Amino acid sequence: MAKTDKKVPMNHVIGFALSLIMTLLAAWAAIQSDLPVTWVIVFIMVLALLQAGVQLFMFMHMTEKESGGGAVPWNMMFHGFALAAILVAGSLFTMSFGFDHGDHGDHGGEHEEHMEMDDSEGDHSGH
């Protein structure tokens, strides 16, 4: 709200552009690229970490010098990461744990099969 001397917040503009580019890269990796599925997943994970870094350092107050780091929302960041952990671990726990009603053996095998199918479908849409 208060007027600042800098009219264009360059940090925010660069951060905005970076986050858009990384989102597009992730979409490209999933839809268009010919990378193997494992690499697509690794690539998207790395992009996600970078994305979180961009948000924290270019938009939040991680680098704010005036307050001597006093405005860094450690509390909220902790809760955010805790919730993300609950989301991921909780989903894995409820969605995959205990679903083996007797047929233990082919669980892993089934999984691999899925991956291959994914791969081939990716190829089709790529062409």
Partner 1 sequence: MGITDILVTGEPIIYAAMVSIALVSIAIPVLLTYFKKWGWLWREWLTTVDHKKIGVMYILSALLMLFRGGMDALMMRVQLAFPDLGFLDSQHYNEIFTTHGTVMIIFMAMPFLIGLMNIIVPLQIGARDFAFPWLNAMSFWSFFIGAMLFNISFVIGGSPDAGWTSYTPLSGAALSPGPGQNFYLMGLQLSGIGTLATGINLMVTILKMRAPGMKLFHMPIFTWSTLVTCFIIVFAFPILTVALALLTIDRIFGAHFFTLTAEGLPMMWANLFWMWGHPEVYIVILPAFGIFSEIIATFAKKRLFGYHAMVWSMIIIALLSFLVWVHHFFTMGAGAFVNSVFSISTMLIAVPTGVKIFNWLATLYKSKIEFTVPMLWSLAFIPSFILGGVTGVMLGMAAADYQFHNSYFLVAHFHYVLIAGTVFACFAGLVFWYPKMFGHKMNERLGKWAFWIFFFGFHVCFFPQYFLGLDGMPRRLFITNVVEWLPLNVISTVGAFGMGLGFIVFVYNVYYSFRHAEREKTGDSWNGNGRTLEWATTTPVPFYNFATVPYVDEIDPYVRMKEEGKTTYDESQLKPIHMPSYKATPIIMMAFLGLASFGLVFEWMPVAIFGLIGGVAVMILRSFDYDDGYYVSVEEIKRIERKARGL
* Structure tokens that stand for 127 in this block: 């062409």
Radius of gyration of the chain (CA): 21
Q: From CA 49, how far away is CA 54, in angstroms rounded?
A: 9
**Measured at the alpha carbon of residue 60, what is the angle toward residues 58 and 64, in degrees to the nearest 5?**
85
Q: From CA 107, how far away is CA 20, in angstroms rounded?
A: 38
Residues that bind partner 1 (CB under 8 A): 1-3, 79-80, 83, 86-87, 90-91, 93-95, 97-99, 101, 114, 117-118, 121
From the CB of 39, what's the least distance to partner 1, in Å?
18
From the CB of 45, what's the least distance to partner 1, in Å?
17
What is the DSSP secondary structure assignment for residue 97, as one 8-state letter? T
From the CB of 121, what's the least distance to partner 1, in Å?
6
